[in-house]
Amino acid sequence: MLLFAAATLVGAAGLLPGSARAEPAPLKLVAFGDSLTAGYRLPADAAFPAVLERALKAKGYRVEIANAGVSGDTSTGGLDRLDWSVPDGTQGVILELGANDMLRGTDPAVTRKALETIIARLKERNIPVLLAGMLAAPNLGTEYRARFDAIYPDLAGAHGLVLYPFFLDGVTGQRANTMDDGLHPTAKGVERIVEGILPSVETFLGRLGQTPEKKG
């Protein structure tokens, strides 16, 4: 009877030869940002988190990326909503904030402090961060640009983060990739963003212990 009971338990646990094994749960990520993340004037499936998730799945990664982008959000606005925008169980955050700070001419010290506080609070929750950088517009002057542009590499270095230096690389100044406002990416622009950031995201996933599944 004892041997039979033990065999039954082993079988129920899926440990018998040839038994089916449950697939691992997908890695739960949150893309936390402003309209560039939210997908301003785009369908939901053309927004950055959805396009990135499809690109990663096509490469064999098991991920789910929640869209926690809010149009018009600043770094301080993001800090205010951090706790409810990044739920418990989140295993990694792609942090994309600061563009609206720059457009409003916010003191870079304010942006830096807010972003660093977001990073610190996520670290306290054991949630790793990939930092998506932003660059200041040329018309803001050399002093402002120097102070603002230094925020992202400085924070990434201080906290050991994976950094993608410029979220809009390949989009800014490219008419085919931006909407008529000259700021927000079109669907094609989002695809360009994903193409650019993908290697950094793969490095980030590697740090989280995920590697792509082999196909076939």
Let me know: does 36 contact 96? Beta carbons within 8 Å. yes
Residue 140 inside a domain? The answer is yes
Residue 214 inside a domain? The answer is no
What's the CA gap between 103 and 118, in Å, rounded?
Answer: 20
Per-residue pLDDT for 10 more than 50? no
Residue 32 inside a domain? The answer is yes
Please indicate whether residue 71 is annotated as part of the active site.
Answer: no
> Which of the residues 35, 73, 85, 101 is marked catalytic?
35
Residue 2 inside a domain? The answer is no
Grade residue 214 by pLDDT with cuts at 50, 70 and 90: confident
- Predicted confidence (pLDDT) per residue in 33-74, tens digit: 999 999 999 999 999 999 999 999 999 999 999 999 999 999
Residue 17 inside a domain? The answer is no
Domain count, the chain: 1
Residue 193 inside a domain? The answer is yes
What's the CA gap between 212 and 103, in Å, rounded?
Answer: 38
The tokens describing 169, both together, are 């690389």
> Which of the residues 71, 169, 181, 200 is marked catalytic?
181
Per-residue pLDDT for 125 more than 90? yes
Mean pLDDT of 204-211: 95
Grade residue 216 by pLDDT with cuts at 50, 70 and 90: low
Which one is predicted more confidently, 18 or 109?
109
The region that residue 84 occupies, defined by phi over 0 for left and psi between -120 and 50 for alpha, beta otherwise, is alpha
Please indicate whether residue 35 is annotated as part of the active site.
Answer: yes
For residue 28, what is the domain's CATH number? 3.40.50.1110
pLDDT averaged over every residue in the chain: 91
Please indicate whether residue 181 is annotated as part of the active site.
Answer: yes
> Which of the residues 75, 85, 149, 184 is marked catalytic?
184
Torsion sign, CA atoms 47, 50, 53, 59 = negative
Structural domain that includes position 159: 24-207
Mean pLDDT of 155-166: 98
Residue 43 inside a domain? The answer is yes
Residue 189 inside a domain? The answer is yes
